């Protein structure tokens, strides 16, 4: 049983035949029941994929004949091992790079121009990758090619994640559960505990939290992409209050689930040393900012009535009294991934059990 499809817009010819991968198929005849000009017949040449057919033969014979209904038909014969067949003037595979886990990553800059061409080439590519034993397929579709999304979904692709300029979809080829890593599961926030030489803590009131108008809190925010935790804490304090600071250590961190769009949240409390004193409020986000005496800050009902926030402040105070050691940042290299990383850990020198900062 053979089925063929001709896409004249992209000069593609596909042959489908029921046979196993190990079966040798020596001859194929593709018949198209449509009238074609002599130039169209001359321009159609088919070749087998070397990776699939395992043969360099690309000899084809194109001719016309009358079928049993008296209509002209085009017959293309050639040696092949498996489909697809395609004109030699057009690429029938999506350009892709192999990943280290046996999958492929499609190159977004090499995608076809139209959704119809994409649909045809995507089908061919998936078949090819299945025969090659590939596993996961990563398909990144730019914003200006959003019309490709329903085409990919129809072929079985799933949404993975989205950014401002693209949508990432994935396809798992083998039988069984998908082993591709899931989308990022966490958002990461930072808070800065900044205490000056007068024993005053830097606090802010946010504009968006109208229900907490009388509450003074630590400057907080989210770290940016490719930003270190300690850099994020320093930046957020600077943006909200105008105060320059120096990172000392991570005092503690909180882990909570089902926060924003069912994502989990990691929140790092960082001890920061002030390098300036003049406050300049970010008028877009912050209602007010000031230096508040530590004792007054701690007495706020929002802290005293909340076990977690009270514990955080207790830890910060213990850190100030050198009765508690935070986690300092250290740049480390690893042969495992050949990357420079920041490792946060506690260092206690034998002669210094009071956790004095060097």
What backbone torsions phi and psi does residue 323 show, to the nearest 5 degrees?
A: -105, 5
Whether residue 73 contacts residue 33, with contact meaning beta carbons closer than 8 Å, is answered with yes
Among 195, 205, 219, which residue's Cα sits nearest to residue 317? 195
CA distances from 282 to 54, 270, 327, 345 (A): 66, 20, 29, 33
Residue with tokens 């061919």: 124
Closest residue by Cα to residue 136 from 121, 151, 156: 156
Cα separation, 35 vs 32, in Å, equals 8
Neighbour-count burial of 245, counting CB atoms closer than 10 A to its CB (0-12 exposed, 13-18 middle, 19+ buried)? buried
| DSSP output for 43-83 | H--EEE-HHHH------EEEEEEE-TTS-EEEEEEE--SSS
What kind and span of H or E run contains 236?
helix 229-241
The strand pairing partners of 328, in sequence order, are 345
Q: For tokens 């999506």, what's the residue?
A: 94
Given this model, what pLDDT does residue 261 score?
A: 87
Residues 292, 295, 297, 298, Cα dihedral to 10°: 160
What is the pairing mode between strands 60-66 and 104-106? unpaired
Per-residue pLDDT in tens (0 to 9) along the chain, 358 residues: 333 444 444 344 444 433 333 333 334 444 444 455 555 544 444 433 333 333 334 444 444 455 444 545 444 444 433 333 444 334 578 999 999 899 999 999 999 999 999 999 999 999 999 999 999 999 999 999 999 999 999 999 999 999 999 999 999 999 999 999 999 999 999 999 999 999 999 999 988 755 566 889 999 999 999 999 999 999 999 999 999 999 999 999 999 999 888 899 999 999 999 999 999 999 888 999 999 999 999 999 988 998 998 999 999 999 988 889 999 999 998 888 888 899 999 876 655 555 554 4
Q: What is the DSSP letter of 327?
A: B
CB 106 within 8 A of CB 126: no
- Which tokens go with 329? 């940042």
Upper half-sphere CA count for residue 77 (Cβ side, 13 Å): 6
Residues whose CB is less than 8 angstroms from the CB of residue 295 and which lie 6 or more positions away in sequence, other chains included: none
- Paired tokens of 189: 């926030």
Determine if the peptide bond prior to 21 is cis (ω within 30°).
no
């Amino acid at each position: 049983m053979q089925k063929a499809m001709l896409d004249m817009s992209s000069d593609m010819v596909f042959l489908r035949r029921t046979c196993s991968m190990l079966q040798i198929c020596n001859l194929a005849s593709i018949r198209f029941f449509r009238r074609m000009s002599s130039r169209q017949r001359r321009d159609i040449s088919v070749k087998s994929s070397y990776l699939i057919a395992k043969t360099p033969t690309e000899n084809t014979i194109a001719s016309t004949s009358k079928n049993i209904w008296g209509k002209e038909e085009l017959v293309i014969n050639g040696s092949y091992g498996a489909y697809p067949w395609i004109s030699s003037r057009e690429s029938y595979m999506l350009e892709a790079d192999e990943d280290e886990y046996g999958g492929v990553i499609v190159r977004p800059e090499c995608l076809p121009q139209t959704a119809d061409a994409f649909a045809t080439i995507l089908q061919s590519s998936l078949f090819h990758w299945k025969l090659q034993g590939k596993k996961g397929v990563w398909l990144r579709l730019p914003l200006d090619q959003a019309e490709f999304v329903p085409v990919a979904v129809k072929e079985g692709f799933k949404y993975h994640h989205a950014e401002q300029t693209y949508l990432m979809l994935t396809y798992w080829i083998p039988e069984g559960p998908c082993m591709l890593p899931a989308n990022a599961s966490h958002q990461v926030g930072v808070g800065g505990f900044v205490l000056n030489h007068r024993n005053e803590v830097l606090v802010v009131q946010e504009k968006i939290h109208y229900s907490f108008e009388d509450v003074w809190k630590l400057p907080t925010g989210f770290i940016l992409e490719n930003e270190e935790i300690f850099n994020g804490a320093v930046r957020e304090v600077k943006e909200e209050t105008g105060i320059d600071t120096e990172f000392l250590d991570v005092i503690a961190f909180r882990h909570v689930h089902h926060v924003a769009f069912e994502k989990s949240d990691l929140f790092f409390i960082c001890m920061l040393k002030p390098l300036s004193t003049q406050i300049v409020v970010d008028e877009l986000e912050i209602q007010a900012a000031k230096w508040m005496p530590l004792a007054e800050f701690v007495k706020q009902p929002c802290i005293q009535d909340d076990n977690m926030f009270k514990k955080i402040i207790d830890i910060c105070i213990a850190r100030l009294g050198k009765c508690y050691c935070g986690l300092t940042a250290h740049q480390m290299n690893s042969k495992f991934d050949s990357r420079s990383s920041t490792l946060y850990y506690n260092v206690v020198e034998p002669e210094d059990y009071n956790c004095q900062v060097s």
